[in-house]
Structure 1
Amino acid sequence: MTNKMTFKVNASRVDAHGSTLSCKDAGLVIDTDLQGRKDAFNPAELLMGALAACIIKGIERVTPILKFDLQGLEVEIHGVRQDAPPKMESMEYSIKVKTSESDQRLALLHDNVRKFGTVYNTIAPGTELTGTLTRAD
């Protein structure tokens, strides 16, 4: 028998310009305005944000196990949406890690990101998902 985690979020329309998203004790204003808005994440950006959070959380989870010297971390994601049918066609990520670890250990960390990320492994089959993990300057 496998253990399964469950998650729940709630979304509510505020008006034609936006909605709110909540879970646990957290909340976000989300961009559901047909014209778009600059002060909130739209659905595609939320998806890319979920991927970034998954990458960071996965690295946080594995660094103690690998005894990996993690001093800092940044993730940047670029996405391309196609119109017909509407979907995220591709996402490209760049992970920059501040560390004194070897290139071989950086490659091991990247392998762990690709193998064990829940959101990563949900997105990868339906989207061209590519990226790099490099040492930060």
Structure 2
Amino acid sequence: MLKNVERFSAMMNFSYSKASVEVRATRLEHPPRMDQINYELTLYSNDDRLNVPLLKKNIEKHGTIYNTIEQSCAIIGTIKTTANV
């Protein structure tokens, strides 16, 4: 996901200083599998050109790892921005 942010920042023409992602998952025992993954992606940016809904859509549509995992469990995520200090 972080690599996709780097790639899409160039394509969508926005800048950011850093990004972090927090992931939480729910695992079922029988059968053993991942049931749901929750993520919160935080972008540190002061750039007004950052279109968060479009970035989220691009990550969900074009992220290869995202799409692979989505085939086996639900993925729920949010993207938030924090101003650089």
TM-score, structure 1 normalization: 0.56
RMSD value, Cα: 1.6
- Equivalence for 2:23: 77
| 2:55 partner amino acid | L
In 1, Cα distance between equivalents of 2:67 and 2:74: 12
Structure 1, unmatched stretches of 5+, are 1-54
Structure 2 CA distance for partners of 1:126 and 1:111, relative to 1, 3 Å: same
Q: Secondary structure at the match of 2:51?
A: helix
Corresponding position: 1:60 with 2:60 = no
Q: CA deviation at 1:102?
A: 4.2
Aligned residue in 2 for 1:113: 59
SS in 2 for 1:95: strand
Inter-partner Cα distance in structure 2 for 1:98 and 1:77: 18
Larger radius of gyration: 1
Give 4+ residue runs of structure 1 displaced > 2 Å after superposition.
Answer: 101-104
Which amino acid in structure 2 is aligned with residue 75 of structure 1? V
Gapped runs of 5+ residues in structure 2?
none
How far does residue 107 in structure 1 lie from its aligned partner after superposition? Answer: 1.4
The alignment status of 1:122 with 2:68, answered yes or no, reads yes
Q: Are 1:92 and 2:38 matched, yes or no?
A: yes
Identity %: 28
The Cα of 1:108 is off from its aligned counterpart by 1.3
